[in-house]
C-alpha cells in the first residue's frame, strides 16, 4: 500500500485509493488505511464492502430497489457500487433504472460495470489456420473450468463495439435532453459535464416520419456552463401530417474538432423524442353483416359472414375458429403442421387455443440460477 501511494500520489487522474478487492477483512486493512492516510490525507480510500475501515461504503451487484434504500439512508459516507451490471452475454438491459436512482440521491456516486472487455484468446480454427475464434475456458482441454465466465465485457476481445457498449454510452452521456413540459418545439437541455461548456460541441436536429428524415438543421452553439440548464427552440417547419405515421425529433451533440480519442463529428450525446402529431385516415367503406352471439353453453360463440369463433368462458381462450369454411382452430385434436418435411405436434392442443407463454430464452447471466 505504501509503495503504491508513494508511486502514484502525484498522478492527476487518481482520485481514490483502493485497498483491493474480495480479500476479507482484519487488522491488515486498518494498517493499510492508516499508512495511506499518513502519506496522502487528501484522497478518500475505498475497499470493497460496507465496513468501518474505508471512507466509502460499497457492495457488488445490488438490486435497483436495494440501491434506492441506500440512497435514502442517512450516512456521512457516500455509497458506491464497486461492481454492477454484469455484462456477460445479452446484458446491461436495466442500466437506465440504476441511473435514475443514482441521480435521484446525492449519497449515491455511481459504480463500475463488470467489465470492459471479453477476455477471450484468439485460437486458430482446426484446418483453417488463417481463421480464428475467441476461445475461453474448456477450449484448451482444461477441466475443471469456468467456461465462458471470462466473456463478460462491453467490447469483444479485439475491441469491437457491442450493443451493450452503446447502451452504456447512452445512459452515461453528459447531456440531458427532454421536452419542455407541454411543448412540441422547445427542448430542455442540462449540461452534466464538470468542465465543458456545451458551446464546445456542434448541435443538430432531425425530424423523421416513419423512420425517414423529412427535415433537419444545425443549431446555434448552445452556450451552457457545467451544471446549468436552458430551453432551446427547434425550428422545424409546419408539418403536413400523414395519417397513421409516427414522428420523432432527434437532437445530437457531436465533437467539433478531432480529439485524441475520437474524430470530429463523433456523437457524444443524443435523444430521440416522440412528436404527438396524428391525423385520422378516412374510414374504409365496407359492407358488414350482423354478428350472432350465443352464450348459452360453456363457450361464447360468435358467428358472422365467413367465420365462426368460440371462446372458453372460464379460460378466455379460443376453443374453435372457422374462417372461409376452413377449420383454423379445432376443438378435439392436437395441432399438427408440416415443418422441414416432418409432421410434429404443436405446443398446445386444439381446444385450448393460443395461450400466453412467458418463457424467455436464457442468457449467460441466468447460468448462476441453474
CB 322 within 8 A of CB 328: yes
Burial, 245: exposed, middle or buried (Cβ in 10 Å; 0-12, 13-18, 19+)? Answer: middle
How long a stretch of residues is the chain? Answer: 370
Distance CA(336)–CA(345), nearest Å, equals 5
CB 209 within 8 A of CB 247: yes
Q: Is 83 known to be catalytic?
A: yes
- Return the HEC string of 181-222: CCCCCEEEEEECCCCCCHHHEEEEEEEEECCEEEEEEECCCC
| Residues facing residue 252 across a β-bridge | 204, 270
Distance CA(186)–CA(231), nearest Å, equals 6
Where residue 138 falls (left for φ over 0; alpha for ψ -120 to 50; beta otherwise) is left
Output DSSP code: residue 354: S
Q: Which of 48, 83, 167, 252 is catalytic?
A: 83
Omega before 115 cis (within 30°)? Answer: yes
Q: Is 22 known to be catalytic?
A: yes
What lies within 8 Å, CB to CB, of 153 at 6+ separation is 87, 115, 116, 117, 118, 119
Catalytic residue numbers, as ranges? 22, 83
Amino acid at each position: 500500500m505504501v509503495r503504491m501511494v508513494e508511486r502514484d500520489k502525484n498522478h492527476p487522474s487518481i482520485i481514490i485509493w483502493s485497498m483491493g478487492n474480495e480479500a476479507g477483512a482484519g487488522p491488515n486493512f486498518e494498517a493499510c488505511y492508516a499508512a495511506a492516510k499518513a502519506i496522502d490525507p487528501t484522497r478518500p480510500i475505498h475497499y470493497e464492502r460496507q465496513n468501518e475501515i474505508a471512507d466509502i461504503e460499497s457492495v457488488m451487484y445490488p438490486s435497483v430497489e436495494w440501491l434506492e434504500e441506500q440512497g435514502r439512508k442517512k450516512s456521512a459516507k457516500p455509497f458506491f457500487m464497486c461492481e454492477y451490471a454484469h455484462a456477460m452475454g445479452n446484458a446491461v438491459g436495466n442500466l437506465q433504472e440504476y441511473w435514475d436512482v443514482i441521480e435521484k440521491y446525492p449519497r449515491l456516486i455511481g459504480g463500475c460495470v463488470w467489465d470492459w472487455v471479453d477476455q477471450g484468446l484468439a485460437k486458430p480454427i482446426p484446418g483453417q489456420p488463417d481463421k480464428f475464434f475467441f476461445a475461453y475456458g474448456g477450449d484448451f482441454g482444461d477441466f475443471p473450468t469456468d467456461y465462458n465466465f471470462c466473456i463478460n465485457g462491453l467490447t469483444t476481445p479485439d475491441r469491437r463495439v457491442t450493443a451493450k457498449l452503446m447502451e452504456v454510452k447512452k445512459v452515461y452521456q453528459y447531456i440531458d435532453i427532454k421536452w419542455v413540459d407541454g411543448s412540441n418545439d422547445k427542448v430542455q437541455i442540462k449540461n452534466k459535464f464538470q468542465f465543458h461548456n456545451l458551446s464546445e460541441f456542434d448541435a443538430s436536429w432531425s425530424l423523421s416520419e416513419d423512420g425517414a428524415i423529412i427535415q433537419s438543421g444545425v443549431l446555434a452553439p448552445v452556450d451552457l456552463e457545467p451544471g446549468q440548464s436552458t430551453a432551446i427552440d427547434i425550428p422545424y417547419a409546419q408539418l403536413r401530417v400523414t395519417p397513421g405515421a409516427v414522428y420523432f425529433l432527434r437532437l445530437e451533440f457531436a465533437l467539433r474538432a478531432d480529439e485524441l480519442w475520437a474524430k470530429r463529428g463523433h456523437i457524444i450525446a443524443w435523444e430521440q423524442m416522440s412528436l404527438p402529431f396524428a391525423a385520422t385516415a378516412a374510414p374504409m367503406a365496407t359492407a358488414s353483416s350482423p354478428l350472432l352471439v350465443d352464450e348459452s353453453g360453456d363457450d361464447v360463440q360468435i358467428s358472422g359472414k365467413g367465420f365462426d369463433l368460440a371462446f372458453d368462458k372460464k379460460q378466455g381462450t379460443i376453443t374453435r375458429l372457422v374462417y372461409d369454411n376452413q377449420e383454423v382452430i379445432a376443438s378435439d385434436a392436437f395441432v399438427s403442421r408440416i415443418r422441414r418435411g416432418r409432421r410434429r405436434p404443436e405446443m398446445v392442443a386444439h381446444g385450448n387455443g393460443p395461450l400466453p407463454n412467458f418463457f424467455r430464452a436464457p442468457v449467460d447471466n441466468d447460468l448462476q440460477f441453474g
